[in-house]
Amino acid sequence: RGKERCMRRVENNEEGSGDKREGKWVILEADLRDARREPLDPANSPLFVELNGMIGLKAVKESVVRLARLAEENWKSEEAGEDVIDIVLHRVFLGNPGTGKTSIAKVYGRLLKEMGYLSNGDVIVVGASKLTGDVIGSSAKKTNELLDSAAGKVLVIDEAYVLANSTYGKEALDVLVERIQGGPGEDIAVILCGYEEEMRKMMRDCNPGLNRRFRMEDAFRFEDYSDEELVIIMQQRAHGMGLYVSEEIARSVVKKVIAKQRAKPNFGNVGAVNNLLDRGKERCMRRVENNEEGSGDKREGKWVILEADLRDARREPLDPANSPLFVELNGMIGLKAVKESVVRLARLAEENWKSEEAGEDVI
C-alpha cells in the first residue's frame, strides 16, 4: 500500500514525490499510515444527511453514527500518537426482507471509503449460492474468486445462513474465515445478511472463527417498517412508478392488506409494497384499456390508483348452498368429514370477507 501511494504521489507530481535515496523511491510515513481523512461530522456530512433522510431504520442509523464517532476518536488518538481501537469492517445485517439492507450497505461502503478504510466503496450483492459449487473444492475456488473481485469494496452475501446447510456451503464459510482477518488495511468489507435466529445458529454450529470475524454483538438490526412508514413508502414508490396513490388509500391498503401479510413469518416490508403496486399498476392499465368508469384519471401527471387496484382480488364469498363448486363436492360419494371441513373453510372465508369490508380484523 505504501508503494502504491508513493507511486500515486509521483504520478500526481505532489510535493515531496519523486525523491530517491540509494536509487530507491523514498517512502513517507503518510504512505504507510492508514490513509484516514479528517473524521466525518454526522451533523453536517452529506452522507449522513442522506442516511437520516431514509425512512425508518432508527437502530441502524444509530449504529452507523456510533461507527463514525469511533472513527473520529481514533483519528484524534492517531494524531496524538496514542493507541487506537480497531474498527471491524465486517458486519452482520439482521432482519426481514425489504428493510433497506442493500441501501444501507451502499451508504456503509461510501462511508468506509470517505473515512479511508476502503479504496473503492462500491457494493457487490450476491446470494449464498454464488459461493458454492457442486464438487469438493469448487466452493473454495468460487469464494476466493469472489473475494478477489471485491477488493476495495463491500461484499454483501444475502441469506448467508444457507451456507450452513451443506458441506459445500461450510467449505465457503471456511474460506471466508481464512481470508477475512479483520486487520488494519484489509481493504474489503464483507456483510452477512439473514434472519437473526438462523444467523445465530450458523455462528454457533460452523467454523468457530466465523463469530470472531463477524461479531453478532456489532450486528446492524433492521426492524420491520411501521404502518406509518409503509404508507409513506407506498406513496413514494408509486410516484417513482408514474402512479398517484392518495394518503387515504395508502392507509386503508396498509391496514387491510399489508397488515395481514405482516402477521406471517418473514414479512416482505418494501417488497410487499412493491408487489401491490405492480399489481395495482397492471389493474389500472387494464381499466384504461377497457375504458371503465374512473379509468384514465390523472393527478400531478400520474395515473390515479384506486383502492380496488391495490386490494387483494377477492371475489365475494362462495355460498355453499348454491355454488356449482359445492354442488359438485356434495355430489361425491361419502367423504362426509372432508365435506364438512371444506364448508367450514368457506364459512370462515365469508366471515373474513365481511370483516375486511367493515375494516375489522380478520382471522
What is the pLDDT at residue 185? 73
Residues of the chain under the 70 pLDDT cut: 1, 15-16, 30, 32-39, 184, 294-295, 312-318, 353, 355-363
**Total count of residues recorded for the chain:** 363
**Angle in degrees, CA 259, 104, 269, rounded to 5:** 10
H or E stretch at 101: helix 101-114
Contact at 8 Å (CB) between 126 and 163?
no
3-state secondary structure of 47: helix
What is the pLDDT at residue 134? 87
Task: Give the strand pairing for 91-95 and 123-127.
Answer: unpaired
What is the pLDDT at residue 358? 60
Q: The dihedral of CA 319, 324, 325, 327: what is its sign? A: positive
User: Tell me, what DSSP letter sits at residue 297?
Assistant: -
Hey, how many other C-beta atoms are within 10 angstroms of the C-beta on 197?
A: 10
H or E stretch at 127: strand 123-127
From CA 279, how far away is CA 275, in angstroms rounded?
A: 6
Interhelix angle 270-289/227-240, rounded to 10 degrees, is 50
Task: Using alpha carbons, select from 319, 315, 317, 316 the residue that is nearest to residue 329.
Answer: 319
The type of residue at 103 is: S
**Angle in degrees, CA 351, 355, 361, rounded to 5:** 115
Contact at 8 Å (CB) between 237 and 273?
yes
φ, ψ dihedrals at 340, nearest 5°? -65, -35
Across the beta sheet with 91-95, the strand order is: 123-127, 154-158, 189-194, 91-95, 220-222
User: How many CA atoms lie within 13 Å of 335's alpha carbon, on the beta-carbon side?
Assistant: 11
Hey, which bits of 276-331 come out as E strands? 298-299, 302-304
User: What's the pTM?
Assistant: 0.73
Query: What's the alpha-carbon Rg for the chain, to the nearest Å?
Result: 28
DSSP 9-24: HHHTT-TTTT-EETTE
What is the pLDDT at residue 45? 82
- Number of helices (H), then strands (E), in the chain: 16, 10
